[in-house]
Amino acid sequence: MHLEPNYWKIEFSKLPSYGKQYPPDASMRFRCLNMRDLKYLSGMNPNNAHDMVNDLVKRVLVLDNMELSDVLAMDRLSIIFYIRTNTFMLSNGYQTEFTCPFCGARVRSDFKMSDLHVKRITESKLGTCRVEGIDEEISSVYKKFYDPVHRTGDPEVDDILNWTNIDQILRGTDSEMKDAVEGLLAPDYAKLRRLANDAKCGILSYADLSCTQCRRELRVGVNISDDNLFNKVRMYTMIKNQIQVSKYCGIVLTDDMPYNEVELTIGIVNELSKKEAEAMQKGKK
Interacting residues toward Zn ion by CB under 5 A: 100, 102-103, 105, 211, 213-214
Any idea of the CA torsion for 115, 150, 162, 75, to the nearest 10 degrees? Answer: -50
Q: Minimal distance in Å, beta carbon 109 to Zn ion?
A: 11
* Cβ distance to Zn ion smaller for residue 105 or 185: 105
* Cβ distance to Zn ion smaller for residue 168 or 213: 213
Q: Minimal distance in Å, beta carbon 211 to Zn ion?
A: 3
* Cβ distance to Zn ion smaller for residue 41 or 211: 211
Cα–Cα separations (whole angstroms), residue 188 to 124, 132, 153, 160, 195: 21, 7, 20, 12, 11
240-243 contact pairs (CB < 8 A, 24+): 241/266, 242/35
Helical pair 49-60 and 73-87, crossing angle rounded to 10 deg: 70
CB 26 within 8 A of CB 64: yes
Q: Minimal distance in Å, beta carbon 98 to Zn ion?
A: 10
Q: Minimal distance in Å, beta carbon 146 to Zn ion?
A: 42
Q: Minimal distance in Å, beta carbon 191 to Zn ion?
A: 37
Q: Minimal distance in Å, beta carbon 218 to Zn ion?
A: 8
Q: Minimal distance in Å, beta carbon 14 to Zn ion?
A: 34
* Cβ distance to Zn ion smaller for residue 9 or 215: 215
* Cβ distance to Zn ion smaller for residue 108 or 282: 108
Is 214 strand, coil or helix? Answer: coil
10 Å CB burial of residue 133 (0-12, 13-18, 19+) is exposed
* Cβ distance to Zn ion smaller for residue 115 or 179: 115
Cα–Cα separations (whole angstroms), residue 120 to 30, 168, 233: 22, 25, 32
The span from the CA of 137 to the CA of 177, in Å, is 17
The span from the CA of 212 to the CA of 100, in Å, is 9
In degrees and rounded to multiples of 5, residue 155 shows phi and psi of -60, -30
* Cβ distance to Zn ion smaller for residue 100 or 199: 100
